[in-house]
Structure 1
Amino acid sequence: MTGFKVIAGGERHVFSDLTTVMAAASPRRSGDELAGIAAASDAQRVAARRVLADLPLRIFLDQPLIPYETDEVTRLILDTHDRAAFAPVASMTVGEFRDWLLSYAATPEALRALAPGLTPEMVAAASKLMRNVDLVSVAAKTRVVTAFRTTLGLPGRLGSRLQPNHPTDDPIGIAGSTLDGLLYGIGDAVIGINPATDNVGACITLLAMLDELRERYAIPTQTCVLTHVTNSLEAIERGAPVDLVFQSIAGTEAANRSFGVSLSLLAEAHEAAQALKRGTVGQNVMYFETGQGAALSADAHHGLDQQTVEARAYGVARAFSPLLVNTVVGFIGPEYLFDAKQIIRAGLEDHFCGKLLGVPMGVDVCYTNHAEADQDDMDILMMTLGNAGVTFLIAIPGADDIMLNYQSLSYHDVLTLRHLLDKRPAPEFEDWLARMGLLDASGRLPPPAPDAAPVRRLLAQGA
């Protein structure tokens, strides 16, 4: 099959190949327009969706969007595809699959069993036929549970990454921001620092500081310095206390090469971290970050729309059984997601696609200061993701990252969402909060006053 034609609204539309159909069917976003692959009009977008809805799901197995011979991500996706798991939906079109996902038949158990049989392109295609509420509805019944020192993704739980970044990597400043976050019940997913300098020695210093803090207060969580995977490997060789290995990843071999990584390097890091056996309730040891537009910014998207390439990144992540994956949804900037409407849509797409593929999906609800968005818009995305069952959210002091210079969520925001939706932290972390006297009689965590007894007790223990 080399081309697709459809009459829509009395107009004849022609799409040269499957890649063109996928790009034209995507909701409008600035990155696809920058790449010159977006639909030329709303009418063309609807026509592309009509074509896509009638295509068989298995076309993505028969016609890879990037050739098998030239891309190791394509080879990974196709070589690990579970045809037995795919069998229940193998005869469906993309449109029929979309309808099935929204039906009562698509139970959490059915979706869990189906995940190994789905490719990133299949779930990306289905998402293009969905409204925002559809993305929320399906994601909300899709469960992905992982564990290291805490168990993440359980029903009724909302995890959080505590992000205490500092512009000079000052350990005292980082420790202060970390203590602040812990008092708000933040950090059950991970305490993770983006280092200001990509230096192995400085990385080890921060890892040691975080590990000492965790052990001093007996905190059931995991820590991570979000340095390059090669630095983490060297830190492991030097005996540093590495819980999770972090890496930014993308959906094509060429884009990953621009990050300085390959599938074999990720496999080496995964094996090295698992060999440390530092987990207590599980051994999911990888942490990946992604974001729409990364492949395009590296000129490594192969003509694919940015949402489809992003979904392929989750195919990479899935191969390494990560503890955490999150899309830094608005971080790259308005060149790729122009305004709040595009950021919100992308966050919901990414979360939906990741969870359907069996990936423990979180979101950094964020934007840059030159995007057409503000904190009210992030409130909408945060609350929508909370209802969609997001695995974890990222929180920073005052919602303002003073090192990376972008806007995210605050500790207070995640605490508010937990109260609003009656969500709790990971069970092991919640038990720790109770032991430390940070929960009230109803098991809730109110923002403590600076002179509250739990704060004095924590400070006394750390003296």
Structure 2
Amino acid sequence: MGYHWDLGGTRYGFADLKRLLAAASPRRSGDELAGLAATSDAERIAARLALAGLPLATFLDHPLVPYEEDEVSRLIADTHDTAAFAPIRHLTVGGFRDWLLSHEADTAALSAIARGLTPEMVAAVSKLMRNQDLIAVARKVRVVTAFRTTLGLPGRLGSRLQPNHPTDDPRGIAVSVLDGLLYGVGDAVIGINPASDNVPNAVALMEMLDGLRQQYEIPVQTCVLTHVTNCIEIIERGAPVDLVFQSVAGSEAANRSFGVDLAVLREAHEAGRSLKRGTVGENVMYFETGQGAALSAEAHHGVDQQTMEARAYAVCRAFDPLLVNTVVGFIGPEYLYDGKQIVRAGLEDHFCGKLLGLPMGCDVCYTNHAEADQDDMDGLMTLLTAAGCTFLIAVPGADDIMLNYQSLSFHDMLYLRAVMGVKAAPEFEAWLDKMGMVSGEGRLRELEMRDPRVSRMLDRIPLVSGAAA
């Protein structure tokens, strides 16, 4: 089945649906290196015009990756909610865009159709939208999840406190945690990427974080981002696991490159829920994704990287996660070349994830060899906050000294909450107030390390880290 469009006296042809979607994508280096991108702006516009006239139902009848070959395709097809899809079944991709931007598509209406949408549908409509459109629609979507804090509520912006350390030193990590808490960061999760991904090291870090959490009665969930199979073993050992983490992608082969499949994720989900450690909810999964993951594993099946990213959200959705975030610029300029491409990808990923019903966050980040800088990240974090992003990730000084990439700083979260008028999760906000870290006007106090309250916390850190070591 082919598609074509006449533009300016030239007929542009697209051999199949995969080629049409790839050609309609905004320019990005990953698709160009894979030979999938449009060869000119004219071809890109022709592809978008052809895509706009395509019925949404086409994506149900013509899977991009064959059902028989891929378990993610089977998951998408087998879990599709035909009743939820019925109200929009008659629309074309272009008509769907118009409806999404209308007053009729309010929060309730968007929630009602979420399970009727497939990743390919939301990826397709995103290709027809300006950045402004992606923000306007995503802001209308509300996805609320909970564990020890409630995330995704209106007027709230969560944050992950990422205290990574190049040698996994418990005291160094604990000091970074304290630093982040003083800035009001960590209500989404306090999450460590371990430098050494093995079970004994992960258990030690989990025990240290849990001890710190209990010592100060912090209403937050913690996570050591160890491989999911490690986490299953750790749960069996009785260690204090809050959230179960895994990186996922949009095809069965790409997930195998991460050492997982749907069966392993189901086992981990059931193990995590069996612990019943949540206080205000029971969402226990934390997933990370990123454009280019399937392509870098040569497991993209000839599909453009943004559509493959959206397919990863079908995997996430199957497990009712507390958190999902795209690590938007982490994979490198081979996939997103510069700040413009990173900003666009971040807004696309947030839009697609939210439409599919996910609690979508973002690691606003870039590698040092990308054509991007912190000004680009300032813009993206502000745009995502305007779009109603569930949470953002912050590291000490915006510089992750373990993973060697640039992200957001703890101070950036203060800026966003002050300028955009958003608050932390209500349970965490109440804790900040109890600890004397919020002024009478509701603003975070600028506590310093010499403050007696901070000194007492620092003095008690060795007791915690010593037990974990």
Q: TM-score, normalised by structure 2?
A: 0.97
- Residue of structure 1 equivalent to 2:223: 224
Q: Find the aligned partners of 2:445 and 2:108 in 1 and give their Cα distance.
A: 35
- Residue of structure 2 equivalent to 1:348: 347
Q: Find the aligned partners of 2:8 and 2:101 in 1 and give their Cα distance.
A: 27
Equivalent runs, 1:22-421 vs 2, <5 Å: 22-421=21-420
Q: Find the aligned partners of 2:459 and 2:102 in 1 and give their Cα distance.
A: 54
Residue 246 of structure 2 aligns to a residue whose secondary structure is strand
Question: CA offset at residue 457 of structure 1?
Answer: 4.9
- Residue of structure 1 equivalent to 2:450: 451
Question: CA offset at residue 451 of structure 1?
Answer: 2.4
Q: Find the aligned partners of 2:429 and 2:228 in 1 and give their Cα distance.
A: 31
Question: CA offset at residue 460 of structure 1?
Answer: 5.9
Conserved in 2, the CA contact under 8 Å of 1:438 and 1:454? no
Conserved in 1, the CA contact under 8 Å of 2:175 and 2:458? no
Summarize deviations over 1:61-83 as a string: whole Å, max 9, x none: 00000000100000001100001
Q: Find the aligned partners of 1:427 and 1:168 in 2 and give their Cα distance.
A: 34
Conserved in 2, the CA contact under 8 Å of 1:217 and 1:461? no
Question: CA offset at residue 455 of structure 1?
Answer: 2.0
Q: Find the aligned partners of 1:28 and 1:350 in 2 and give their Cα distance.
A: 15
Letter in 1 for 2:33: L
Q: Find the aligned partners of 1:136 and 1:216 in 2 and give their Cα distance.
A: 40
Question: CA offset at residue 415 of structure 1?
Answer: 1.2
Q: Find the aligned partners of 2:128 and 2:392 in 1 and give their Cα distance.
A: 26
Q: Find the aligned partners of 1:359 and 1:10 in 2 and give their Cα distance.
A: 43
- Residue of structure 1 equivalent to 2:467: none
Q: Find the aligned partners of 1:449 and 1:197 in 2 and give their Cα distance.
A: 32
Letter in 2 for 1:180: D
Question: CA offset at residue 450 of structure 1?
Answer: 2.5
Summarize deviations over 1:260-281 as a string: whole Å, max 9, x none: 0000100000000000000000
Summarize deviations over 1:344-372 as a string: whole Å, max 9, x none: 00000000000000000000000000000
Summarize deviations over 1:103-161 as a string: whole Å, max 9, x none: 00010011111100100000000000000000000011110000000000000000000
Q: Find the aligned partners of 1:446 and 1:373 in 2 and give their Cα distance.
A: 32
- Residue of structure 2 equivalent to 1:5: 4
Q: Find the aligned partners of 2:187 and 2:4 in 1 and give their Cα distance.
A: 51
Question: CA offset at residue 187 of structure 1?
Answer: 0.3
Summarize deviations over 1:270-317 as a string: whole Å, max 9, x none: 000000000000000000000000000000000000000000000110
Greater Cα shift, 263-272 or 446-455 = 446-455
Question: CA offset at residue 402 of structure 1?
Answer: 0.2
Letter in 2 for 1:387: A
Summarize deviations over 1:368-388 as a string: whole Å, max 9, x none: 000000001100001000100
Q: Find the aligned partners of 1:113 and 1:458 in 2 and give their Cα distance.
A: 46
Letter in 2 for 1:385: L
The percentage of aligned residue pairs carrying the same residue is 72
Conserved in 2, the CA contact under 8 Å of 1:149 and 1:282? yes
Question: CA offset at residue 449 of structure 1?
Answer: 2.5
Q: Find the aligned partners of 2:78 and 2:342 in 1 and give their Cα distance.
A: 33
Conserved in 2, the CA contact under 8 Å of 1:13 and 1:44? yes
Q: Find the aligned partners of 2:455 and 2:154 in 1 and give their Cα distance.
A: 33
Letter in 2 for 1:178: V
Residue 310 of structure 1 aligns to a residue whose secondary structure is helix
Q: Find the aligned partners of 1:447 and 1:113 in 2 and give their Cα distance.
A: 43
Residue 286 of structure 2 aligns to a residue whose secondary structure is strand
Q: Find the aligned partners of 1:367 and 1:82 in 2 and give their Cα distance.
A: 37
Letter in 2 for 1:259: F
Question: CA offset at residue 10 of structure 1?
Answer: 1.6
Conserved in 2, the CA contact under 8 Å of 1:394 and 1:409? yes
CA RMSD of aligned residues (A): 0.9
Conserved in 1, the CA contact under 8 Å of 2:255 and 2:261? yes
Residue 68 of structure 2 aligns to a residue whose secondary structure is helix
Q: Find the aligned partners of 1:107 and 1:49 in 2 and give their Cα distance.
A: 25
Gaps of 5+ in 2: 464-469
Question: CA offset at residue 9 of structure 1?
Answer: 1.7
Conserved in 2, the CA contact under 8 Å of 1:206 and 1:225? yes
Question: CA offset at residue 447 of structure 1?
Answer: 2.9
Q: Find the aligned partners of 2:131 and 2:19 in 1 and give their Cα distance.
A: 23
Question: CA offset at residue 446 of structure 1?
Answer: 3.6
Question: CA offset at residue 199 of structure 1?
Answer: 1.0
Q: TM-score, normalised by structure 1?
A: 0.99
Summarize deviations over 1:84-118 as a string: whole Å, max 9, x none: 11111000000000000000001001111110010
